[in-house]
Amino acid sequence: EAGVTQFPSHSVIEKGQTVTLRCDPISGHDNLYWYRRVMGKEIKFLLHFVKESKQDESGMPNNRFLAERTGGTYSTLKVQPAELEDSGVYFCASSQEPSLYEFFGPGTRLTVL
Amino acid sequence: DAKTTQPTSMDCAEGRAANLPCNHSTISGNEYVYWYRQIHSQGPQYIIHGLKNNETNEMASLIITEDRKSSTLILPHATLRDTAVYYCIVRRGFGNEKLTFGTGTRLTIIP
């Protein structure tokens, strides 16, 4: 069974540009989460989808971040415009409903210059 | 969310048991103790969780004190591949609740 996949693995962009990260959860997993670790900080929750609905988006830092999950399958996280402090590793995780624990993807390393 | 306290770092000799402690003195009755780890450059990986009974799976054992204020994750025969940051997290089970990661314990397995 394929695990959680994320694309791209690395992205380097300039400040002010737009970047879109993609997450493909494990097939059949209704729950999808986004987390991130910015430089020197702890891993922080961003938001949680149940199917295509946003269950909890309390961790989204500001309105430059937009997450979507059309059709309840894969999800995208768009950062527009990107700022220097957005640099870090963005993780996606998925779980079944009801869930005991999540499976994490390998992450996307975002560097904003 | 209940807070957890873990040592910043630990070393363990290869082949020995690694015992990672965690304090969670404010844990609520409906909160579970979860352990995840992050091996360098990978995403976090679930290890084990428990409510009040000791638990064991193919990866590790979890020992929870009777008062549930602390727990210990045991890796019975540590290998070099177990070098990672280990996170002790308390959360409600079956609630899809977000994970609150702390700083964790950086475990280094020494050859």
What is the mean pLDDT of the segment spanning B43-58? 95
Average pLDDT, chain B: 93
The whole-angstrom separation of Cα A30 and Cα A7 is 19
The answer, for B35 touching chain A at a CB cutoff of 8 Å, is: no
Nearest to A79 by CA among A17, A11, A2: A17
| Closest-approach residue (CA) in chain B for A95 | B96
Percent of chain B residues past pLDDT 90, beyond the cut: 85
pLDDT score for A2: 81
Please indicate whether, in this complex, the C-beta atoms of A99 and B94 are within 8 angstroms of each other: yes
- Each residue's pLDDT tens digit, A53-77: 999 999 999 999 999 998 889 999 9
Residue B1 has pLDDT above 90, yes or no: no
Nearest to A102 by CA among A45, A31, A1: A31
pLDDT score for A1: 62
**Cβ–Cβ under 8 Å, residues A9 and A109:** yes
Length of chain A measured in residues = 113
Q: What confidence category does residue B102 fall into, taking pLDDT thresholds of 50, 70 and 90?
A: very high
Cα distances from B74 to residues A60, B28, B51, B54, B71, in angstroms, run: 35, 23, 16, 11, 10
pLDDT score for A40: 83
The whole-angstrom separation of Cα B58 and Cα B110 is 22
- Each residue's pLDDT tens digit, B56-92: 999 999 999 999 999 999 999 999 999 999 999 999 8
First-last CA distance in chain B: 37
Nearest to A42 among B43, B96, B101 (CB): B101
pLDDT score for A104: 97
The whole-angstrom separation of Cα B26 and Cα A27 is 36
pLDDT below 70 — which residues of chain A? 1
Instruction: Quote the minimal CA–CA distance from B96 to chain A in Å.
Output: 6
pLDDT score for B96: 73
The whole-angstrom separation of Cα A44 and Cα B99 is 8
DSSP one-letter code for A70: G
The answer, for B92 touching chain A at a CB cutoff of 8 Å, is: no
Instruction: Quote the minimal CA–CA distance from B48 to chain A in Å.
Output: 9
pLDDT score for B94: 64
Q: What confidence category does residue B95 fall into, taking pLDDT thresholds of 50, 70 and 90?
A: low
Q: Which residues of A touch B99 (CB under 8 A)?
A: 35, 43, 45, 102
